[in-house]
Amino acid sequence: MTTPSPSPADNPARLARAVLAQQRLPQARAAFRSCRLCHHLCGVNRLQGELGKCKAGPAARVYQARVETGDELELIPAFAIAFSGCDLRCSFCNVHLPSWNPSLGEEFDPVSLGTRAAAALAAGAKSVMILGGEPTIHLPSVLQLVAALPAAARLIWKTNGHGTHDARRLLDGLFDVWLVDAKFGNDTCAAAVGAAPGYVRAVRENLLWARSHSELMVRHLVVPGHVECCWRPVAAWLAEYLPGVKVSLRLGYWPAAHSADPRLRQFLSDREMADAQQLAVNHQLNLVP
């Protein structure tokens, strides 16, 4: 007689994460009194209405919650819950307003979202993905959501990698997969294109931490005019410090018409695509579809 494999719901770590999330909720709310959840380190009191770089207050909103099939093959279909608002201002962002504006979208309701996620999983979704915008700026609501999700759910944390030690401490042990966007390969581009000075150090801290705390997948969107300055150093760093890590090289850039940079208002050239792929081959990166 064959012994049945344990279900995800039998995993003690997954059963414990709801408890962990509830226990950390007071700490997450307290963090809003002097918010340093992202590397802007604004220090504003969001509970008193003060606004930092992300412009988010104490209450979160959700601009999208639906099954998605456009992510990496091993993750889809995924029930994706996207929080409104972001701490970066990437001028190539194809979501733009709902991604940047924390006041857009529907009122956050963790119980309803948990019910919808359970229905999506029962219908065949592989995972639940929490993203934005940037979900790190809404950690109290994220913890409420995690506590409301089914214990059997495989949880994916989709982030821009700009969070701090304070954020990581609150997230530790809650997610099965960290899907991290390594957007920029140098701080000049990070500041000019993403309004994120000091981004490179921040994302590297998060990548190294995530590799030792969960499954990690690194995503890089190849942007016109930024193969040499951004993708080359990202690829080289991954090869040296995270050999074998799963890397998703995104070549489907969609022109950002609102960008002031004319290079970002065009598609990738065939040469840029070929060069980006060759860099991955040269560095023996573990590319995933």
149-169 confidence digits (pLDDT tens): 999 899 999 999 999 999 999
Residue at 16 is within a domain? no
Distance, CA of 24 to CA of 147 (rounded, Å): 11
For residue 244, pLDDT beyond 80:
yes
Q: What was the pLDDT predicted at 75? A: 96
And the tokens for 186? 């140098």
User: Starting at the edge strand that comes first in sequence, how are the strands of the sheet with 155-159 ordered?
Assistant: 106-107, 61-68, 78-83, 127-131, 155-159, 177-181, 215-221, 246-250, 286-287
In a domain, 108, yes or no: yes
Domain membership of residue 57 (yes or no) is yes
Is the confidence at residue 97, as pLDDT, over 90? no
pLDDT of 6 over the 90 cut: no
What residue ranges in the chain does DSSP mark as E strands? 61-68, 78-83, 106-107, 127-131, 155-159, 177-181, 215-221, 246-250, 286-287
Q: What is the pLDDT of residue 5?
A: 37
Determine the pLDDT at residue 94: 84
If you ran DSSP here, which 8-state letter would residue 228 be given? I
Domain-embedded: residue 15: no
139 near 107, Cβ under 8 Å? no
pLDDT band of 242, cuts 50, 70, 90: very high
Is-contact 155 149, C-beta < 8 A?
A: yes
Residue 7 has pLDDT above 70, yes or no: no
Cβ atoms within 10 Å of 175's Cβ, excluding its own: 24
Residue 13 clears pLDDT 70, i.e. is over it: no
Confidence of residue 130 (pLDDT cuts 50, 70, 90): very high
pLDDT of 12 over the 70 cut: no
Question: 219-229: per-residue pLDDT in tens?
Answer: 999 999 999 99
Residue 10 lies in a domain: no
Query: Mean pLDDT across the chain, nearest whole number?
Result: 94
pLDDT score of 2 more than 70: no
Range 176-180 average pLDDT:
98
Strands 61-68 and 78-83, sheet pairing:
antiparallel
Task: Round to whole Å and give the CA distance between 14 and 35.
Answer: 28
Sign of the CA dihedral with 86 first, then 90, 91, and 92 last? negative
Residue 10 pLDDT greater than 80, yes or no:
no
Residue 79 within any structural domain of the chain? yes
pLDDT, mean of residues 127-137:
97
Peptide bond into 77 cis (omega under 30): yes
Which of 110-114, 242-246, 257-261, 272-276 shows the lowest mean pLDDT across its residues?
Answer: 257-261
- Residue 54's nearest CA partner among 32, 25, 21 is 32
What range does the domain containing 51 cover?
21-287
Write the CA distances from 144 to 99, 110, 139, 243, integer angstroms.
21, 6, 9, 35
Burial grade of 160 (CB within 10 A; 0-12, 13-18, 19 or more): buried
In a domain, 244, yes or no: yes
Assign residue 227 the CATH number of its domain. Answer: 3.20.20.70
pLDDT of residue 11: 61
155 within a domain of the structure (yes/no): yes
Report the C-alpha gap between 234 and 187 in whole angstroms: 12
pTM score, whole prediction: 0.94
Q: What percent of the chain has pLDDT over 90?
A: 90
- Rounded Cα gap, residues 138 and 135, in angstroms: 5
Residue with tokens 């408890």: 19
